[in-house]
Homo-oligomer: A and B are copies of this chain.
Amino acid sequence: MAEIAEFAAGLLSAARISDTGTAQSIKTRHNKYFMGTECDNLRATLCRANSHYLPLRTLAVFTALRLLIATIMPSRELVIAFDADDTLWHNETIFEQVHERYREMLSRYHDTETVNRTLFATEMRNLDLYGYGVKGFTLSAIETAIQLTEGKISTAEIHRLLELGRDMLAHPVELLDGVAETLAALAAEHRLLVITKGDLRDQERKIAKSGLADFFSHVEIVSEKNEASYASILRRHSIRAERFLMVGNSLKSDILPVLALGGTGVHIPYALTWAHEHAVAPPDAAGRFIEVASIREMPAVLAGLR
């Protein structure tokens, strides 16, 4: 950016002194800055200007204004954002394995249904204070175990819950089928984002471990996925809602708020859905809600949108 600004300053002084002798060097530098970028319109304008031998001053007007518009205007390009957990990599299956061990641990005291229901109630009660993620889950699991056993659970078992929590945090990242190839193909043509909620450090670690980081221009980790947080991301990145596609497994977090803002939602259901993420009703947004079985179908989805 600083380099482009310096170049623009050079253009400014060239225009000021009307030194047409510098025209050629400026044209050469144009090419350097815009070859290989996606400013096709700009390049076309410049080529037209060059081929008609327009005076330097006119060339400068075109260049500067096109550059300006390209810099500050919400882009027309399609931006595709992906949820992370259960969209790019397995997550709910890991939680489910821990739940299974948890129910075994408490099976002397209560049946499966009671354990599930009570743990979920504790998580919901603590959600506002703890937010999403493994650490909050671990704290809620310890609290529920003490409650359901009326304090009779052993400290060795509580220690085991702490270990299970740490195992989840240290768990290898297992990509869903087709993710790496599909992202590689999409990233060649589009700007890709990750938008995920949960513990800051845990999500950063998973992105790093996934090997996918280079496909994304930005990773947004938010404490809640709702209309306000999506609107803030669109504003910050100068993305128009109608050119924004959100891909995810949760109707509630990934699809409904994006549809409400005028964007498009691509729903890829995961085998398991955490009770908290169940949406009440299927969305009603003609043409802007698409459901597919696998991320491998994304190129076909994009072809259908054109």
Contacts and interface: CB of A to CB of B under 8 A. Distances in A.
A69 B5 contact: yes
Contact of A201 (B4, B69, B131, B149): B131
Given A64-B65, A199-B131, A72 B139 contact: no
Contacts of A58: 15, 57
A114 B3 CA distance: 56
B200 A65 contact: no
Contacts of A269: none
A142 B126 contact: no
A159 B238 CA distance: 47
State the number of copies, please. 2
A46 to B, nearest CB: 13
A130 interface: yes
Interface stretch (A94-102, A162-170, A176-184, A298-306): A162-170
Interface in A1-21: 1-2, 4-5, 8-9, 11-12, 15
A68 B65 CA distance: 8
A8 to B, nearest CB: 5
Interface in A230-285: 238
A228 B74 CA distance: 28
A257 to B, nearest CB: 18
A286 interface: no
Given A1-B72, A61-B61, A151-B156, 15 more contacts: A2-B73, A5-B72, A9-B65, A12-B62, A12-B69, A15-B58, A61-B64, A64-B64, A67-B68, A135-B199, A139-B162, A143-B159, A146-B159, A199-B200, A200-B221
